[in-house]
Amino acid sequence: MILDSVRVGIVGVSGYGGGELARLLAMHPKAELTYVTSGTYKGKPLSTALPGVAGRINLTCEEFDIDTAVAKCDVVFLAGEAGLAMKLAEPLIGAGKKVIDLSADFRLKSTAHYQQWYKSEHTAPHMIDQAVYGLPELNRETIKKASLIANPGCYPTSAILALAPLLKHIPFIRGGELIDPKTIIIDSHSGVSGAGRSKFGLDYHFSEVNESIKPYGVGGVHRHVPEIEQALGQVAGHDITVTFTPHLSPVTRGILTTAYANMNLDAEDYGVDRVHAIFQAVYQNEPFVVVMDPGQFPATKYAEGTNYCYIGVAVDERTNRVIVISAEDNLVKGMAGQAIQNMNLMCGFDETDGLQMVGMWP
């Protein structure tokens, strides 16, 4: 259904994801923010939680109420804690609303995998098949028809966009894939905002984070591993297993991912120009993926405040490996911006509406 405009609600507006949604929606030409909830700031102006919206959004944070949400909203973003969408998605969709969940509640298609990686029972397994994984570059046409979107994680967005072209079927290559998928290694660095606004542990103190880079979730235990493998498996048409190591870096915003894989062809015969041509072909019509020229590589600064993902490719002929580097803003393309991109598709808007901002520099 193509709509002229929509009324939008954000459940959990005072977190970094919810706050970024509010900032971006304030600039959207076809969306009106009509309902915001926050347990921490209920009864207070939204500008108390998000000072930057003062004078732009004159709403009061409310305690969530299903009847109020149904009355005030056409689209509801669920930006609260894990488990919230399992409770709220069904009644909202039953009332004819479109729901975009920013948590991991519906990203994994296996309840067993969810229980294994998130250490809790999935309480709405009957909704999983209804949820569409909201990476437009993979699932655009399905997203257009969806009522429930599982918005991707920030790390998975950067990793999947970096690796998907390498797993597309190429008939003349052994096995149809440019790379050996068993050799995929993903090394990612995230800004501190990726931990969310409510984490107050020692690891996130300024003096602990500043001038230091720290790995975590080492050894294949990070919760984004199955999400990355599931999406890459969708592209490849078979199971994919990756080595993924995330790092906390002393910046506020941004994710820089470097992915490595062995090539199935001799790199001397299939060099960077041909690999670059594959990326160009895959992403030539994607409004928010920028494939950089050979020899150029992205930095997180390029994408800061934007919904763009920048990608650079290289081939190491000595080791016969391809190297792909991607950079995004974890709060925009990695979270709120991508959620709005999904909303645009669901509502029949131009996919780029409200998301055409240019990166800040310096």
Q: Which residues contact 290 (CB under 8 A, 6 or more apart)?
A: 298, 308, 309, 310, 311
Alpha helices in the chain (DSSP H): 16-25, 46-49, 66-72, 84-94, 111-118, 136-144, 154-167, 206-209, 225-236, 272-283, 300-303, 337-347
Cβ 359 vs Cβ 308: under 8 Å: yes
Name the token pair of 241: 């297993």
CB-based contacts of 65: which residues, under 8 Å, 6+ apart? none
Q: Mark whether 154 is an active-site residue.
A: yes
The one catalytic residue among 73, 154, 309, 347? 154
Region label for 167, one of left (φ > 0), alpha (ψ between -120 and 50) or beta (otherwise): alpha
CA 200 to chain CA mean position, Å:
23
The residues that are catalytic are 154
